[in-house]
Amino acid sequence: MHGEKASADSGVAEDFQQEFPSFISGYSLDQIFNCDETGLYYRCLPDKTLASAFEKRAEGRKKAKDHVTANACANLTGSIKLPLLFIGKSKRPRCFKNTYMDSLPVIYRNQKNVWVNTEIFSSRFHDQFVPYVQRELKSKSLPPKALLTLDNCSAHPEEDVLVSDDGLVIVKFFPLNVTSLLIQPMNQGVLESMKRRYKRSLLQDVLLSEDLIDSTTLPSPLQ
């Protein structure tokens, strides 16, 4: 058995796909957006590796379960990408002790369950998505209207709440119980690619630090 696809409502998904062209009528591909959340275990290392010639096996460690939630959002052409939203547990993590939070390349929020809630997502939409997208569309000489597609998550407010003040930026939810069918753009490799790039960068940092440690413990050629 693999995944949850057998439990998904494929009939509803097919109906939605048939109706979708009418939903996006009047929008260019630059004006159609999708966003979704994913968990990022930022200290978790791979559970497989090669053993060196000096050891019989590579000893494993407990998997680090420290994680944050990342919200990624972009339009269908990839020409407009919002800064990533990260949700952690601490209001101000120790690593940000002497950092001006607004200078971060991402947006950071905190929540005790390390997950998005209606308050955080409402702020994401009204305070970040709407002004950012309308500004970017204007710079591309496009009308400042946009359609944001979302999965039907309980943490997302209702469609009638997620509307810009001028009514030009609106939201359309995907049907319930279709997530495993991968009809949402962010689930078609975008989030996975982001996490793979992060893990590659993490491993490069780990290997570099290991090399530095080894170089300090090795005897000097002059000794």
* Chain centroid to CA 63: 21
pLDDT band of residue 4 (cuts 50, 70, 90) is low
- Any idea how long the chain is? 223
pLDDT of residue 108: 94
Can you tell me the distance from the alpha carbon of 26 to that of 182, in angstroms, rounded to the nearest whole number?
25
Residue 14 placed within a domain:
yes
Whether the pLDDT of residue 140 is over 90: the answer is: yes
Q: Classify residue 52: in a domain, yes or no.
A: no
217, pLDDT greater than 60: no
Kindly report the average pLDDT of the chain as a whole number.
Answer: 85
Dihedral of the alpha carbons of 151, 156, 157, 162, in degrees to the nearest 10: -60
Check residue 9 and give its pLDDT. Answer: 61
Residues linked to residue 87 through DSSP beta bridges, in sequence order: 69, 109
> pLDDT tens digit string along 14-60?
888 888 888 889 999 999 999 999 999 988 888 777 777 777 777 77
Lookup: tokens for 148: 């944001």
Residue 21 lies in a domain: yes
Most confident of 9-13, 46-50, 159-163, 219-223: 159-163
Q: Which of 13-17, 58-62, 149-153 has the lowest mean pLDDT?
A: 58-62
Both tokens of 146, joined, read: 């946009």
Q: What percent of the chain has pLDDT over 90?
A: 51
Report how many domains make up the chain: 1
58 falls within a domain: no
Query: Mean per-residue pLDDT for 206-220?
Result: 61
Residue 114 has pLDDT above 90, yes or no: yes
Q: Does residue 55 fall inside a structural domain? A: no
For residue 180, the domain's CATH number is 3.30.420
User: What was the pLDDT predicted at 221?
Assistant: 41
In angstroms, what CA-CA distances link 210 with 44, 61, 102, 201? Answer: 16, 16, 32, 14
Residue predicted with more confidence, 185 or 124: 124
The stretch 171-199 carries a mean pLDDT of 84
What's the pLDDT at 95?
84
At residue 81, the pLDDT reads: 96
- Alpha-helix runs per DSSP H in 97-189: 118-123, 130-139
Element (DSSP H or E) covering residue 20: helix 10-23
Owning domain of residue 124: 9-38+66-210
Q: What is the pTM of this model?
A: 0.82
Residue 4 inside a domain? The answer is no
- Round to whole Å and give the CA distance between 161 and 13: 24
- Domain assignment present for 138: yes
**Cβ-Cβ contacts under 8 Å for 23 (sequence gap 6 or more):** 147, 172
> What does the pLDDT average to over 129-148?
96
Whether residue 221 lies inside any domain: the answer is no
pLDDT at 218 over 50: no
